[in-house]
Amino acid sequence: MQIAVRAKFPTRLLAVAATGLAAVLSGCDATAGPLVTEDQEVRQVTVVGKGEVQGVPDTLTINASMEIVAPDAAAALNQSSQRQKAVIDALVGSGVDRKDISTSQISVQPQYPGFESNTIVGYRANNTIDVKIRQLDQASQAFTQIATAGGDAMRINNVTLAIEDDSQLVREARSRAFNDAKSRAEQYALLSELDLGKVISISEVAGSAPPVPLPTTRDGAAEMAAVPIEPGQQTVDFSVTVVWELT
């Protein structure tokens, strides 16, 4: 006859054993990730490099107004518009592309005899255009046409020189800025008795020079037309921040 024997364990002992197993499993999960040690920390150096190149301006922009004072607003606006149209027609007729002429301001303002007076004695109308001259040797001719067609109503407010396409200058300035940053980083690595490793990050800031304004006069059309134009040079600068690893 077969006799079955069943071992009996106290319930409290089984509970303690289960708790211990859970603790072991929990401990395994807590240490399953990689350990971070001081040997794995990346030593790095951050430097700022600068580069600049110079170029000759190749465009000139004239900001010219036709200013008329008349007894009523309509007359002032009509006369200033007619003068400006005559200027535009003269410029286009001489070869200036119409897309290089743009209206920048039109205004009509009442005129008073004194600062504290409320009596309107007339209206001042102003019609302003920007004219881009792409060949600097034609700038004097443009001034003459503006002065001749505009007459005494002509006002030259501003003249600026600029580089139309500075993309190649920017590339050169960027290259010089990076080489400058690398030279600085190599020096710091040498001073630290370490080797310069791979680049970690790069950030840049472009800083092209703004257009250069030329001095102008409002005393007379003939004198303004005779002003010589010297393009000079403009500076395109670039700044780059580079982070290198040190090994």
Please indicate, yes or no, if residue 72 is contained in any of the structural domains. yes
CB 127 within 8 A of CB 106: yes
Please indicate, yes or no, if residue 229 is contained in any of the structural domains. no
Residue 70 shares a structural domain with residue 150: yes
Structural domain harbouring 193: 43-54+167-208+239-246
Residue 202 shares a structural domain with residue 132: no
Residue 48 shares a structural domain with residue 70: no
* DSSP letter for each residue of 37-79: -GGGPPEEEEEEEEEEEEE---EEEEEEEEEEEESSHHHHHHH
Report which of residues 97 and 17 the model is more confident about. Answer: 97
Residue 67 shares a structural domain with residue 158: yes
pLDDT of residue 117: 80
Half-sphere exposure of residue 144: CA atoms within 13 angstroms, side-chain side: 8
For 209, phi then psi, to 5°, come to -70, 140
Residue 183 shares a structural domain with residue 131: no
pLDDT of residue 144: 92
Among 44, 53, 40, which residue's Cα sits nearest to residue 242? 44
Residue 178: CATH number of its domain: 3.30.110.170
Residue entry with tokens 């971070």: 36
- Write out pLDDT tens, residues 81-125: 999 999 999 999 999 999 999 999 999 999 998 777 888 999 999
- Write out pLDDT tens, residues 158-209: 999 999 999 999 999 999 999 999 999 999 999 999 999 999 999 988 765 6
Residue 76: CATH number of its domain: 3.30.70.2970
Residue 80 shares a structural domain with residue 154: yes
- Three-state DSSP at 170 gives helix
pLDDT of residue 210: 58
Q: Which two tokens stand for residue 5?
A: 């024997």
- Three-state DSSP at 22 gives helix
pLDDT band (50, 70, 90) for residue 226:
low
Which residues face 161 on adjacent strands?
60, 212
Q: What percent of the chain has pLDDT over 90?
A: 64
Residue where a domain stops, chosen among 136, 162, 188: 162
Which residues face 102 on adjacent strands?
130
Query: How many separate domains does the chain show?
Result: 2
Residue 103 shares a structural domain with residue 128: yes
Single pTM value for the model: 0.66
- Write out pLDDT tens, residues 142-152: 999 999 999 99
Q: What angle do CA 23, 28, 30 make, to 5 degrees?
A: 95
- Write out pLDDT tens, residues 236-246: 899 999 999 99
Q: Give one word for 95, left, alpha or beta, with left for phi > 0 and alpha for psi -120 to 50.
A: left
Report which of residues 243 and 38 the model is more confident about. Answer: 243
pLDDT of residue 232: 85
Residue 135 shares a structural domain with residue 47: no
Please indicate, yes or no, if residue 139 is contained in any of the structural domains. yes
Please indicate, yes or no, if residue 134 is contained in any of the structural domains. yes
Please indicate, yes or no, if residue 184 is contained in any of the structural domains. yes
Rounded to whole angstroms, how far apart are CA atoms 105 and 112? Answer: 22
Residue 184 shares a structural domain with residue 157: no
Report which of residues 162 and 42 the model is more confident about. Answer: 162
